[in-house]
Amino acid sequence: MISLINVKKSFGNNHVLNGLNLEIPKHKISFIIGRSGEGKSVTLKHFIGILKPDSGEIWIDGVQMKNAKEDEWIEVRKKIGILFQDGALFDSLTISENVSFPIQNHLKLSAIEIENVVSELLELVGLPGIENKYPPELSIGERKRVGLARALALKPQLLLYDEPTTSMDPLVSDLIDKLIYSTQKKMSGITSVVVSHDITSVMSIAEYIFLLHKGKIYFQGTPEDFRSSKDDLVKQFLTGGRNGPLEVPIA
């Protein structure tokens, strides 16, 4: 659904993407992994047109977005659900208002229809009946699940997760992983892309892995390929050890 061809992106002298080539496989959960600052979020932002490449091509659903105008990006974004790191909920709105926010803006549904959609979505993420609560009353994990319900509101074809398990304890991380996996299975035809550092998540739910290094895809393949790779950098990434080509700063 998404292809990046020879994409370059710099911020001043900081050359972040140096001819990135990547083709997200359809209907799978793909992970984009890499060290901090390698350009994972920058890559994700190119998928939704928040950042534009200096050169190279971006294809979404068969359309070349290189010279796309903002209204074309708005149409594309309707097909994409995004779960931001903190859930990005509005604290002053109820959970119901938060989840229905994209529906109110884009679909013409009656109040009762919206109510039904919201309760179905909350059911899907395992939080039924919390419509009238406010985000500050929820744990971080619950907020992420509400964020996911909102990301699913417009029935996206593509679901993007930016560091979904960052700063979570292992049990909540595991729950979020299961939710990403079950969402992928329940929403037929969806394609998921997860940006993450969390190697446990990667090895438990990824169906395809892209390892970003020095502005390019250094490795791509299935988790089995990743696990059995003989490449020193891939092995170091997998084990998190000090031995290997990646320099690990001494704290």
Ligand X SMILES: Nc1ncnc2c1ncn2[C@@H]1O[C@H](COP(=O)(O)OP(=O)(O)OP(=O)(O)O)[C@@H](O)[C@H]1O
- Nearer of residues 9 and 150 to ligand X, judged by Cβ: 9
The Cα–Cα gap between 99 and 114 comes to 10
Q: How far is the CB of 73 from ligand X (least distance, A)?
A: 17
Distances (CA, A) of 61 to 69, 76, 158, 220, 242: 16, 9, 10, 21, 41
Distances (CA, A) of 165 to 161, 195, 197: 9, 10, 9
Which of 176, 98, 164 lies closest to 134, judged by CA? Answer: 98
The three-class DSSP label of residue 19 is strand
Q: How far is the CB of 50 from ligand X (least distance, A)?
A: 9
DSSP 192: E
- Nearer of residues 182 and 236 to ligand X, judged by Cβ: 236
- Nearer of residues 37 and 128 to ligand X, judged by Cβ: 37
Position 4: which residue type? L
Using CB under 6 A, list all residues that contact ligand X: 11, 14, 16, 34, 36-42, 197
Q: How far is the CB of 87 from ligand X (least distance, A)?
A: 16
Q: How far is the CB of 32 from ligand X (least distance, A)?
A: 9
- Nearer of residues 11 and 90 to ligand X, judged by Cβ: 11
